[in-house]
A and B are shown apart, each in its own frame.
Chain A
């Protein structure tokens, strides 16, 4: 026991003489995992011991869990996604075969695939809950504008990632979801043509599948990473959002154990979802036969319904402009509504927000109905 401990120490010191481990570990602090900086002049053990004992007031309270949860889910998606990418072939002829082969033939491939799918759903849910918490808690006041905007943009990026991810298995459901989703977004001025340009066309063929693949595994993850960095950086500057409860003093080490516990239960939850409610594969996509259940994804049903609801004489670009205006209003909310706090009398916008959420839910329901009736 003593020997192994000593050899470990000696290995650490051996490597520490050649490379600054402290510097490498302190790199993690950029992403908020370590809210303090490490003293890179000291050896790693000493620097960590010092950092771990630093007090963290009110860290890891339940409301704050959404932020770290979204980042853990992002990492989890990254790990499982990398595993899937080892086997996946992004061409129209091979995509379905390789995707089903992952789920069927590769050891634990089915579990990794399902876990990736469920994690993406949880990721979207957590991001929505975070935006709602920021809004109803009035947590985007002076100084926190960036946090709000990053949260909104992260959600948008996550939806694009989700949509392109559904396309990759090239089964009928994913394929037609993408076709219907692009019907909604293609009508938007500027954004529509831009997205068409980015993926290289309005159709859906092998080349476009490859582009969505690159978006899914490279462009969007990197963008998300940048957004997470901006978020953590901003939070380090302006501090965590205030909560009403009395501050609890904890050391960083305890907080990190909490994160580990979070990861453990998250994996447990994902495994449970995976085993109990697996996503079945649909039949292979056939551009010539539209399945009856081809409809836009849940988060696009409300814009879809809004576009359908407007009278026919409203030109298409105006409908698109209306949607873009609404999105801009949400994104720039901190500059439109300068008052913070959750006090209803001070912030009547809360009622407007609640109404907007209700409208969104109603429109989603209505969009679902018109799609089912179709």
Chain B
């Protein structure tokens, strides 16, 4: 049985060829000024061959490079086509007709946020994707949005961060707004000293960030490390105010913030207009929080020999002594484990000691030695106890040498007896 199977391409070709023939037969003046699609397109890509595949497909006939780019993005699969943003007639087969019906062309930079918001502020449209719909509102409060409203179109608009045609979801590692790519995306503008000097910015926050602990952690593959947007916000991007720094840092460093608020620095810094955490730790180039900091940063505000500096010295001594004790106990545990002796219990106890030691760091932000001391004391007492117990066990192993001497004594005694017997046997037998 022969089944008739219509070939879609062939049918489309036949149907699509009709208007071309028609326009060729009835020449008009505008067709001559604008190049005809059929004339500039290879036969295999004749408009009729791809017509009807999906809305906007015709645009790709001329704008093939943009179409390739667009197809990589996520909008393609959501039924968003060229005309959604650019207007025009996607099914027209001449440039002229395609660019006629409500065609907007490339939107102006200052119009882009509103254009994107026409969909992204629509709660009903965003709900199925579980996407927020307040980005536009946030953007209008951001430094970018505020400046744009004043007519400065060098500021970032949606497309600068998300891309123009190939917009990918933030979870896609190739996306410009994927966590690890954010410093580079922001850095396109904020790392451009020429552009930034127009705004009176001299330092380069991008290179500073890359040299700081957060930048190194993110580059090292720790995706929990904060990128620019974690502190500044994304759509509502704005530098935190002087009194808000601890709130921003406290999003992650909750314990540190709690002790900082309880200490004398909060009020003092706010009065002096110091940017809280950033005053000591830096903002973009965040230094690793070590005891070595106490030697430098305190001197920025406090005089050498002052009681504040003495307190810093006390912190340093207490912590160093405790961490040295824990390190010594660690070495002994390692040594004992290789013999092997039982060390599981010691290891568990040293974990306790390390926890106490780790807690010292946030507690120090309260600037109260009486709160730090119990922790270092606890770490030291556990570590010393463990060291003593292991050392005792190691010392007991000296008895092995006594055992060795006794063993040789017995062996030599045996050898003596055997030698005597051997001598007798040699004398007894006459060969």
Residues of chain A whose beta carbon lies under 8 Å from any beta carbon of chain B: 52-53, 55, 100, 103-104, 110, 249-251, 253-254, 257-258, 260-261, 264-265, 267-268, 271-272, 275-276, 278, 280-283
- Which single member of B337, B411, B412, B415 contacts A281 (CB below 8 Å)? B337
B383-422 vs A, CB cutoff 8 Å, 1 = contact: the mask equals 0000000000000000011011001100110110011011
Pair B425/A253 contact, Cβ less than 8 Å: yes
A260 CA / B420 CA spacing, docked (Å): 12
Residues of chain B whose beta carbon lies under 8 Å from any beta carbon of chain A: 337-342, 400-401, 403-404, 407-408, 411-412, 414-415, 418-419, 421-422, 425-426, 429, 431
**CB-nearest residue of chain A to B414:** A264
B425 to chain A, nearest CB (A): 5
- Which single member of A100, A103, A110, A251 contacts B429 (CB below 8 Å)? A251
Q: Which residues of A contact B429 (CB under 8 A)?
A: 52-53, 251, 253-254
Q: Which residues of B contact A264 (CB under 8 A)?
A: 411, 414-415, 418
- Which single member of A254, A265, A267 contacts B422 (CB below 8 Å)? A254
- Which single member of A251, A261, A276, A278 contacts B431 (CB below 8 Å)? A251
Pair A104/B408 contact, Cβ less than 8 Å: no
A88 to chain B, nearest CB (A): 15
**CB-nearest residue of chain A to B405:** A275
Task: List 29 A–B pairs whose Cβ atoms lie within 8 Å, in order of A's numbering.
Answer: A52-B425, A52-B429, A53-B429, A100-B340, A110-B339, A249-B431, A250-B431, A251-B429, A254-B425, A254-B429, A257-B418, A257-B419, A257-B422, A257-B425, A260-B418, A265-B415, A267-B411, A268-B407, A268-B408, A268-B411, A271-B407, A271-B408, A275-B401, A275-B403, A281-B338, A281-B339, A281-B340, A282-B338, A283-B337
Known: A52-B425, A104-B340, A251-B429. 14 other contacts (CB 8 A): A52-B429, A53-B429, A103-B339, A104-B342, A254-B429, A257-B418, A257-B422, A257-B425, A258-B422, A261-B422, A268-B407, A268-B411, A271-B404, A280-B338
Q: Which residues of A contact B403 (CB under 8 A)?
A: 275
A264 CA / B422 CA spacing, docked (Å): 14
Total contacts A-B at CB 8 Å = 66
- Of all A-B residue pairs in the complex, the 5 with the closest CB atoms, nearest first, are A280-B338, A257-B422, A251-B429, A275-B404, A55-B431
A232 to chain B, nearest CB (A): 23
**CB-nearest residue of chain B to A259:** B418
Pair A261/B415 contact, Cβ less than 8 Å: yes
**CB-nearest residue of chain B to A283:** B337
A251 CA / B421 CA spacing, docked (Å): 13
**CB-nearest residue of chain A to B338:** A280
- Which single member of B341, B414, B418 contacts A104 (CB below 8 Å)? B341
A349 CA / B260 CA spacing, docked (Å): 83
A278 CA / B418 CA spacing, docked (Å): 30
Q: Which residues of A contact B340 (CB under 8 A)?
A: 100, 103-104, 281
A278 CA / B337 CA spacing, docked (Å): 13
B416 to chain A, nearest CB (A): 10
Q: Which residues of B contact A53 (CB under 8 A)?
A: 429
Q: Which residues of A contact B401 (CB under 8 A)?
A: 275
B375 to chain A, nearest CB (A): 30
Q: Which residues of B contact A257 (CB under 8 A)?
A: 418-419, 421-422, 425
Q: Which residues of A contact B415 (CB under 8 A)?
A: 261, 264-265
Q: Which residues of B contact A275 (CB under 8 A)?
A: 400-401, 403-404
A52 CA / B431 CA spacing, docked (Å): 11
A265 CA / B411 CA spacing, docked (Å): 7
A271 CA / B412 CA spacing, docked (Å): 13
**CB-nearest residue of chain B to A281:** B340
A367 to chain B, nearest CB (A): 26
